[in-house]
Amino acid sequence: MPLPVVDTRPLFRPLSRDIAGVIRSLTPEDWMRPTVAGAWRIRDVVAHLIDTALRRLSFHRDGRRPPGRPPSTESDLIALINELNASWVRAADRLSARVLADLYAYASAELCAFVETLEPHGDAVFAVSWAGEARSAQWLDVGREFTEVWHHGAQIRDAIGAGPFPDPAWLHAVLEIAMHVLPHAYRDVTPRPGAAVAVDVTGAAGGAWTLVPAAAGGWDAEPGRRPTATTTVTIADDDAWRVLFNAISVDDASARMRIEGDAALARPLLRARAVIV
């Protein structure tokens, strides 16, 4: 059974409103706090959220072409995204906290209104490359955008000690989308007959997924946990998103997982990332 369609469109608006409220509540000291997003402070993460919303509106809704030559390789794509991210954050450093909060409120509301108009089963404008896809359904691309908003919002909450988002259904949707990375993460692993890797995420936002050999070679991901799995990885929901979105080191991720069965088959999961950069 393939992974199901996950329609995240109705979730954008409540999530974005929650993030906007948290941003409005930040103190001057909060804006300068470090985050798990590398060298970015909270103000840089907020600026990035504004940037990604405006990019989606410009490139997708309005048909504006991204600057420069279209990337032809994965390394070209990564370089382009890194430059777009860095140049915006540098420019946003001159903006006040109030301006950034106002810009996020505007950009996020426009993004919510746009994604609500999209047809889930149409062809995506942007393929979900971290899932190894050259073409994607629009619902997966929209879901990828939802995970982008959610995990940066989680970085802000984490930096100020605000705890998890109030609705665990948002994280559950993030995990459902992110599990599309599994076959791509295991692309260099030749499956043995009968092998299966179960991922059991505990907590209010949790769920279970299993990676199994595909008929055409490689791996397929399916919902649910196969009781005959040769490897079972158990991890808490708050740790699972940190693994998949670069918010934890490989060593820390390994320490927070419980692995049963063939431990070698769990290793690619430690480096699975549902982000491009």
pLDDT band at 277 (very low <50, low <70, confident <90, very high): confident
| Span 113-124, pLDDT tens digits | 999 999 999 999
| Span 85-110, pLDDT tens digits | 999 999 999 999 999 999 999 999 99
Average pLDDT over residues 43-55: 98
pTM for this model (two decimals): 0.96
Distance of CA 219 to the CA centre of its chain: 21
CA distances from 252 to 35, 48, 271 (A): 17, 26, 12
Which residue ranges make up each domain of the chain? 9-166, 181-270
DSSP states of 197-209 as a string? EEEEEESTT-EEE
CATH number of this structure's domain 9-166? 1.20.120.450
Share of the chain above pLDDT 70, in %: 100
CATH of the domain spanning 181-270, picked from 3.30.2350.10, 1.10.10.10, 3.40.640.10, 3.30.1050.10: 3.30.1050.10
Unique residue bearing structure tokens 């984490």: 158
Which residue blocks in 161-236 are alpha helix, DSSP H? 168-178, 182-185
